[in-house]
């Protein structure tokens, strides 16, 4: 059963967030020595952001995953300057990083229509090259997708994130009966009466050691980078991943999640965050919630509950702590209101900061 869950977890169902491609710029055309003619340059290869594309659709449409620019035309008596080869465009989803095989970022595409040249075409033959053309650049690139959402759900397996997303929004995640319950990332839309929409990404569950790339590890954590805010989801009664792993209380779960984010990329824990305490329909939930709130108010006093290497450098001060039951829908409307309030407050602060910067720049230009 464990083996099955591991396989499904890595595959994300039909979802793909990384694709390796071969790209090569077109070769240049031959020059014409007799008349000093110049061959055309080879075509370039571009990655172009398109909202209609997914990485899976690229893989399905181009199973060989090879993209080659057009060859430049040879110089001839009829056309001393050969035509340029055709450029090759790879339509790719918005929100990707393009990297080489070593993980070095070549560029990012975050807006519809943005373009990035990934392989330059070769030069046409000319007097300076003894009329011999050059080949185009050739390399492997990776398209790495990071989901863009207003809110990213952060929680250990079985915290009830998928059920919560279903209760909050129009998403219908596939939920399995083993520990890694989310088969692939899901984005749900929260709809409000004034037609405002807020996107929430439910990502495959973290496990302890995710920063070391255990479980889904980096495949999960990279998606957290692009969300505006974080929404931690914990089981009010605590959880145990497997019989051989320690039981973790809700407080421990919060701090372990914080530490996993911190170890992966420290600035992640500076994002605004909400805490959802789920499964409030269970016995003793109210007492457990009161205990958790007390611990969150004085986290240093309870840090001895954690292994030394898993105590966060900085505890997160949550904007809201919201008790809910995804099963009974208790607290779900309150949570929707808190999410809206938190995002609106951040947007207002960003607008104020932007106006202040513009005013400062204007004053500086006048002096």
3-state DSSP assignment of residue 141: strand
pLDDT per residue as tens digits for the range 214-231: 444 455 677 777 788 999
pLDDT per residue as tens digits for the range 230-261: 999 999 999 887 777 788 899 999 998 898 88
The length of the chain in residues reads 367
Contacts with 127 (C-beta within 8 Å, 6 or more apart), sequence order: 31, 36, 38
Give the per-residue pLDDT at 15. Answer: 58
Identify the segments of the chain with pLDDT beneath 70: 1-15, 146-148, 170-186, 203-220, 367
Q: For residue 298, what is the DSSP state?
A: S
| CATH 3.40.50.300 domain locations along the chain | 151-351
Give the per-residue pLDDT at 129. Answer: 96
Give the per-residue pLDDT at 47. Answer: 97
Residue in 71, 67, 68 with CA at minimum distance from that of residue 92: 67
Strands 115-119, 66-68: pairing kind: unpaired
**Architecture of the domain whose range is 151-351:** 3-Layer(aba) Sandwich (3.40)
Residue in 48, 37, 170, 55 with CA at minimum distance from that of residue 117: 48
pLDDT per residue as tens digits for the range 45-72: 999 999 888 888 899 999 999 999 999 9
State the number of CA atoms in the 13 A half-sphere of 305 facing the CB: 20
| CATH 2.70.210.12 domain locations along the chain | 17-145
pTM of the prediction?
0.64
Please tell me the distance from the alpha carbon of residue 190 to that of residue 195, in angstroms, as a whole number.
10
Give the per-residue pLDDT at 323. Answer: 97
Please tell me the distance from the alpha carbon of residue 207 to that of residue 258, in angstroms, as a whole number.
12
What is the number of other CB atoms lying within 10 angstroms of the CB of residue 240? 13
Give the per-residue pLDDT at 218. Answer: 52
Chosen CATH of 17-145 out of 3.30.70.20, 2.40.30.10, 2.70.210.12, 3.40.50.620 = 2.70.210.12
Give the per-residue pLDDT at 302. Answer: 92
Please tell me the distance from the alpha carbon of residue 17 to that of residue 146, in angstroms, as a whole number.
7
Give the per-residue pLDDT at 185. Answer: 63
- Please name the residue ranges forming H helices in 24-95: 55-61
């Amino acid at each position: 059963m464990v083996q099955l869950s591991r396989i499904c977890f890595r595959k994300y169902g039909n979802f793909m967030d990384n694709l390796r491609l071969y790209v090569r710029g077109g070769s240049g055309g031959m020059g014409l020595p007799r008349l000093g003619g110049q061959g055309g340059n080879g075509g370039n290869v571009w990655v172009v952001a398109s909202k209609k594309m997914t990485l899976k659709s690229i893989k399905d449409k181009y199973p060989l995953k090879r993209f080659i620019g057009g060859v430049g035309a040879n110089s001839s008596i009829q056309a001393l300057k050969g035509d340029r080869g055709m450029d090759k465009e790879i339509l790719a989803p918005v929100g990707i990083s393009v990297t080489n095989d070593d993980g070095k970022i070549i560029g990012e595409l975050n807006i519809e229509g943005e373009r990035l040249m990934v392989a330059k075409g070769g030069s046409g033959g000319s007097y300076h090259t003894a009329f011999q053309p050059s080949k185009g650049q050739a390399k492997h690139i990776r398209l790495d997708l990071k989901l863009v959402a207003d809110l990213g759900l952060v929680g250990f397996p079985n915290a009830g994130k998928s059920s919560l997303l279903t209760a909050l929004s129009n998403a219908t995640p596939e939920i399995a009966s083993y520990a890694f319950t989310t088969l692939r990332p899901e984005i749900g839309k929260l709809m409000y009466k004034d037609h405002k929409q807020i996107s929430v990404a439910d990502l495959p569950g973290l496990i302890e050691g995710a920063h070391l790339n255990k479980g889904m590890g980096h495949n999960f954590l990279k998606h957290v980078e692009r969300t505006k805010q974080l929404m931690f989801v914990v089981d009010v009664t605590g959880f145990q991943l497997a019989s051989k792993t320690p039981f973790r209380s809700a407080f421990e779960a919060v701090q372990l999640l914080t530490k996993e984010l911190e170890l992966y990329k420290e600035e992640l824990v500076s994002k605004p965050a909400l805490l959802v305490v789920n499964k409030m329909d269970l016995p003793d939930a109210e007492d457990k919630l009161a205990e958790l709130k007390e611990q969150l108010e004085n986290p240093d006093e309870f840090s001895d509950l954690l292994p030394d290497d898993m105590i966060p450098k900085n505890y997160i001060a949550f904007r809201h702590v919201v008790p809910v039951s995804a099963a009974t829908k208790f607290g779900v409307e309150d949570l929707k209101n808190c999410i809206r309030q938190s995002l609106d407050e951040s947007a207002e602060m960003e607008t104020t900061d932007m106006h202040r910067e513009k005013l400062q720049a204007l004053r500086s230009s006048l002096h």
